[in-house]
């Protein structure tokens, strides 16, 4: 899995093509989508076009897709057809990583067990979950499963560090994939004195400082942008290193703030 992923949620066809080109030109090949992002068709089409134009192979790309909550609810946890639908829309030979998007009550265990079978059939290269809290993961572990989720994609940024959850992930060998890693650059984060000071010291943008914080914590951030300049900047975070003191100060911005509301499919989430 690449060290940084680019999300293509709710972009049009032209935006996705330009975003992927910008990312590939910068040496990054990881892209994140989901059925309810309305981008699977465009993403697959763009990748095929860029593969031909740049003479690249499918193996050079890493595609993360998801099983959404409403379809999962309607299918009562039977997800084979949902995975086939995504493969058809992407029009690619396989999916590198597929996640259960939300811990949909009553059905996420059934869905996980079917996902294990799909993984064993090599339809997908890796399997994981998204928005699962510790209690959901523990419930899964106690449900006679064969594989621990390889990834958990959660909202994570310096305003929401969820250190108990990331420690749980490390304990069980689960990769932490952070979405909304910049928290929309809200002033409480982007204008914090520690962020400003680090920007001046390293001659980096506030987004680069925040993404570097993710990288040094061992997280894989998935950010969204359709701006080629911003994409290049956000991926250019490997030529400097924050000090331990700076890392702690950035983590101390935590206020357990969650930008995205919980899924309506997960009451009592």
The range of the structural domain enclosing residue 227 comes to: 5-251
Per-residue model confidence (pLDDT) at position 261: 78
Mind listing the pLDDT tens digit for each residue in 187-239?
Answer: 999 999 999 999 999 999 999 999 999 999 999 999 999 999 999 999 999 99
Is residue 186, in this structure, part of any structural domain at all?
Answer: yes
Classify the phi-psi angles of 10: left when phi > 0, otherwise alpha if psi is within -120 to 50, otherwise beta: left
Q: What Å distances lie between residue 184 and 195, 231, 236, CA to CA?
A: 15, 15, 19
Q: Is 37 a catalytic residue?
A: yes
Is residue 238, in this structure, part of any structural domain at all?
Answer: yes
CATH code of residue 71: 3.20.20.100
Task: Please give the tally of structural domains in the chain.
Answer: 1
Mind listing the pLDDT tens digit for each residue in 30-63?
Answer: 999 999 999 999 999 999 999 999 999 999 999 9
Is residue 268, in this structure, part of any structural domain at all?
Answer: no
Is the model's pLDDT at 267 over the cut of 90?
no
Mind listing the pLDDT tens digit for each residue in 122-167?
Answer: 999 999 999 999 999 999 999 999 999 999 999 999 999 999 999 9
Q: Are 4 and 234 within 8 A, CB to CB?
A: yes
pLDDT band per the 50, 70, 90 thresholds, residue 269 = low
Is residue 21, in this structure, part of any structural domain at all?
Answer: yes
pLDDT band per the 50, 70, 90 thresholds, residue 265 = low
Neighbouring-strand partners of residue 32: 7, 64
Is residue 87, in this structure, part of any structural domain at all?
Answer: yes
Is residue 257, in this structure, part of any structural domain at all?
Answer: no
Per-residue model confidence (pLDDT) at position 85: 96
Selected catalytic residue, list 29, 37, 42, 107: 37
**Coil, strand or helix at 162:** coil
């Amino acid at each position: 899995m690449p060290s940084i992923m680019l999300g293509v949620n709710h972009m049009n066809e032209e935006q996705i093509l330009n975003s992927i080109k910008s990312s590939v030109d910068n040496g990054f090949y990881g892209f994140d989508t989901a059925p309810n992002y309305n981008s699977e068709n465009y993403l697959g089409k763009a990748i095929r076009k860029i593969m031909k134009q740049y003479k690249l192979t499918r193996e050079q790309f890493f595609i993360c897709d998801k099983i959404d909550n409403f379809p999962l609810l309607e299918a009562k946890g039977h997800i084979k057809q949902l995975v086939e639908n995504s493969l058809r829309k992407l029009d690619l030979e396989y999916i590198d990583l597929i996640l259960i998007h939300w811990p949909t009550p009553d059905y996420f265990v059934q869905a996980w067990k079917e996902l294990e079978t799909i993984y064993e059939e090599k339809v997908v290269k890796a399997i994981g979950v998204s928005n699962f809290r510790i209690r959901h993961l523990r419930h899964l572990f106690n449900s006679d499963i064969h594989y621990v989720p390889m990834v958990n994609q959660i909202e994570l940024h310096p305003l929401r560090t969820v250190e108990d959850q990331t420690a749980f992930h490390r304990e069980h060998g689960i990769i932490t994939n952070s979405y909304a890693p910049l928290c929309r650059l809200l002033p409480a984060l982007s204008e914090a004195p520690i962020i400003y000071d680090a920007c001046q010291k390293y001659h980096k943008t506030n987004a680069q400082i925040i993404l570097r914080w993710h990288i040094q914590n061992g997280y894989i951030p998935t950010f969204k942008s359709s701006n080629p300049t911003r994409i290049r900047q956000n991926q250019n975070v490997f030529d400097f290193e924050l000090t331990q003191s700076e890392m702690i100060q950035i983590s101390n911005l935590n206020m357990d703030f969650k930008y995205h509301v919980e899924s309506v499919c997960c009451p009592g989430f």
